[in-house]
Amino acid sequence: MKPTILLGTRKGLIAYHFKNGKWQAENLSFEGTPVSIAYADPRTGDWWACLDHGHWGVKLHRSKDRGANWEEVTAPAYPEGAEIKEGMPATTRYIWAMAHGGQKFQSRLWIGTDPGGLFMSEDAGDSFQLVESLWNHPTRKDGWFGGGRDQPGIHSVVVDPRNENHIHIGISCAGVFESVDAGKTWEIRNKGLRAEFLPDPDAQAGHDPHILVAAPTNPDILWQQNHCGIFRSVDAGKSWQDIGQPEGPANFGFAIAVADDNAEQAWVAPANSDMTRTAIKGALCICRTDDGGKTWKDFRKGLPQENCFDIVYRHALVSSGEAVAFGTTTGNLFFSPDRGESWQTINNYLPMIYSVQFAD
């Protein structure tokens, strides 16, 4: 298990460190400011804070000393004249994903934003450029729309460690897009998904993958918690199979995590349907599959089972070895040392939690 948990919350970046057998608060940065994503780059150890100042715009900060000191770097910005729709200028409204570009491209970083722009840095984050090929994709202006946010947003960037120019991204709402040339060209990978909220559920674009992840041990195996169920692909997204439980609880939700040593094992954090977005029957559970989604078990030991309203946002459920952790919308942070079978509370009094990451 990696010994650090990094949180992006409604009121700042918070870090916990596992020491002497327990999680202890290590750092609080940007107190009072929403941190949409807190990200540790495993290659460098750099911490990144994606800030969402209500008044002053989206900002990006980097720390090379575990949050003791921060430097502001230029946040991704849309070029002059870029438009969300005709007559609607594009500006960075939110940073919703951050990923490093792999071992071969040590200076490469990816950022996904609302309103739907993907940005790439080739200078270790000193500057970011809009990936024009995706921004100019023929489906964007008419086929993408907001889901979870007012405008389309890229919340997932998955880099294939075998070929780090090969990436998948997840967009709400557009779906899964794949590039094999570091973003120069794109293929839509939504075959097998359902967009039940559209007149045509099999539309080419307009799907709502709440989060997209790949199995580290086999990056051709992709998982997504979708608005319309849980889906898995064994062919790098060329086709998707519905693996959710029709009657739940493993069906609707936002987050999914896949084991770093087993491509068949994954966790989801079920929620009531999109009508209410609350904990199911006032109780919190985490569901795990050990067989690629054929069956699911729900685990509740140590989690609240009454009067509970928590749900888990898309970046807030993660695993590391035997450990699993998740943070909730009502500021609870839970940790499991046994792959989700039992849970311990790290803190009940945090701000709303947007992102959780295990880090060194």
Partner 1 sequence: MPVVKFTYALKRFFPGLKDTPAKSVILSDVLDEIEMVYPGINSYILDEQGNLRRHVNIFINGSMIPDRAKLDSEVSEKSEIHIIQALSGG
Binding site for partner 1 (CB under 8 A): 53-57, 59, 72, 74-75, 77-78, 80, 82, 89-92
**Beta carbon nearer to partner 1, 89 or 321:** 89
Give the residue with the Cβ less far from partner 1, 275 or 349. 349
Q: What are the DSSP E strand ranges found in 93-133?
A: 94-100, 109-114, 118-121, 129-130
Percentages helix, strand, coil for the chain (3-state, rounded to 5) are 5, 45, 55
Q: What minimum distance in Å lies between the beta carbon of 69 and partner 1?
A: 15
- Closer residue to partner 1 in complex, CB, 77/263: 77
Kindly state the smallest distance separating residue 54's Cβ from partner 1, in Å: 5
* Other CB atoms within 10 A of residue 101 CB: 23
Query: Minimal distance in Å, beta carbon 86 to partner 1?
Result: 15
Name the phi and psi angles at 142, rounded to 5.
-105, -20
Query: Which tokens belong to 93?
Result: 């409204």
DSSP 185-248: S-EE--TT---TTSSSTT-SS-B-EEEEEEETTEEEEEEEEETTEEEEESSTTSS-EE-S-TTS
CB of 131 to partner 1, least distance (A): 16
- Scored b (16 or more CB within 10 A) or e, 136-172 reads ebebbeebbbebbbebbbbbbbbbbeeebbbbbbbbb
For the CB of residue 72, give the shortest distance to partner 1 in the complex, in Å: 7
Q: Which is nearer to partner 1, 127 or 239 (CB)?
A: 127
Q: In what order do the strands lie in the sheet with 35-40?
A: 35-40, 47-53, 57-63, 71-73
- The torsion of the CA quartet 345, 347, 348, 351, rounded to 10 degrees, works out to -140
> Cβ of residue 78: shortest distance to partner 1, in angstroms?
6
User: Looking at beta carbons only, is 78 or 334 nearer to partner 1?
Assistant: 78
Q: Smaller CB distance to partner 1: residue 8 or 101?
A: 8
- Residue (56 or 307) nearer to partner 1, CB: 56
**Least distance (Å) from partner 1 to the CB of residue 171?**
21
